[in-house]
Structure 1
Amino acid sequence: MSAALMMLLAAHAAGPETAVDAERAFYRAAQTDGQWTAFRRFATDDAVMFTPQPVRAQEVLPKKDPPIAVQWWPAHSYVSCDGTVAVNTGPWVRPNGSGYFSTVWERQADGHWKWVMDHGDGLSAPRPLPEEPKVRRAACKFPRGKVVGVTFGEEPGEHGQGISDDGTLAWIWRVRPDGSRTFTARLWNGRKFETVVRDEVAAPAAS
């Protein structure tokens, strides 16, 4: 048996790629190929970032990679029951700072994942990192045969949101007029939607 065939069979036996696998591959590409090169490669065409206003990542990502890429690791991964959408969150560090990130991933037609929203903020110290990412999947139990619709309420400012095909993982970002923003992800637990990620980013300091 050829080495290539053995590798193919091993990959098949390991099961489909997970959102944690995608996050780790994204990280490795940033370290080996360049930070912004990896960001572009792993993003969808309409992926969103914040500057602090929402912008299309593919249009604003720098062409030149920094000499040292940011380092980050998934600490928690929340996945829809059907496995089509995931939200990963965890710490990042770089030579002059640390913080956290939250990234929304969507499974593509070829089975691989790409990110559709990425954001984060600085912290005085990075968030704790478990030895292995804590993965939580939405419940696949649906009273009355379907998921009860999720609501996020109303707030001023621009927003974008999404939901998995089966309706078990929903997320929304909001940017207020002052540039502050929130990101919220809610996971179906079999009885109701539970908020599993709630990020608050302050407005940028006045220049």
Structure 2
Amino acid sequence: MNSTSLLRQKAIDEIREADQRFSVMSEKQGMAKAFTAYAADDVIRMNDGAAPTVGFDSLRVQMSRLPAKGPVLTWQVLKADAAHSGELGYTFGQWTLTRKDGKGALNAQYGVYVTVWKRQRNGQWRFVLDGGNTTPEPK
């Protein structure tokens, strides 16, 4: 492998790892904490059936509206890739949103997502674009 290929592969591995840590934080500490921890300042979040959320401050306000014991969002990376420069990449995968209904029974919703990641000046990966849609339950 040449140095460009190594740089790209290192970025792919780092992006996959960041995405997995993001999901674990969402599961254990809630969506609001996770989304604000991993978002870049210039983030854009696509919202199903609504206008996108643009910018970190808008995302923080959106996330602050979520109930503390609200639904639990987790996901699994199916594919990750990065530019040869090692500065930009994406993840694609499946998500599950689990919530309790009025009787305390768990209901799950499923979907797919794509997240675009950008290396920040401090070397950390933050997402700059995130969106997805619902799908039938995966087989």
Q: TM-score under structure 2 normalisation?
A: 0.72
C-alpha contact (below 8 Å) 1:24/1:73 kept by paired residues: yes
C-alpha contact (below 8 Å) 1:35/1:65 kept by paired residues: no
Which segments of 5 or more consecutive residues in structure 2 lack a partner in the other structure?
1-9, 99-107
Pick one of 87, 105, 128 that aligns with 2:117.
Answer: 105
- Equivalent positions of 1:11-22 (< 5 A) are 18-22=14-18
Q: Deviations for 1:160-180, whole angstroms, at most 9, x for unmatched residues? A: xxxxxxxxxxxxxxxxxxxxx
Q: Which structure is higher in strand share?
A: 2
Aligned residue in 2 for 1:125:
137
Q: Which one has more relative contact order, counting CA pairs under 8 Å at least 6 apart?
A: 2
Q: CA–CA distance in 2 between the matches of 1:104 and 1:66?
A: 28
1:77 paired to 2:80: yes
Pick one of 94, 97, 119 that aligns with 2:97.
Answer: 94
What letter matches 2:28 in structure 1?
Answer: T
Task: Quote how far apart the aligned CAs of 1:69 are.
Answer: 1.5
Q: Deviations for 1:43-84, whole angstroms, at most 9, x for unmatched residues? A: 012211133212222342234444442110110012100110
Aligned residue in 2 for 1:27:
23
Q: Which structure is higher in helix share?
A: 2
Assess, with a 3 A threshold, how the Cα gap between structure 1 residues 53 and 68 changes in structure 2: closer, same or farther. closer
- Equivalent positions of 1:162-173 (< 5 A) are none
What letter matches 2:130 in structure 1?
Answer: D
Q: CA–CA distance in 2 between the matches of 1:93 and 1:54?
A: 21
Q: TM-score under structure 1 normalisation?
A: 0.50
Aligned residue in 1 for 2:102:
none
Which segments of 5 or more consecutive residues in structure 1 lack a partner in the other structure?
1-14, 129-207
Q: Which has the larger radius of gyration?
A: 1
Q: Deviations for 1:123-143, whole angstroms, at most 9, x for unmatched residues? A: 0123x7xxxxxxxxxxxxxxx
Question: How much identity, in percent, do the aligned residues show?
Answer: 22
Q: Alignment RMSD, CA only? A: 2.0
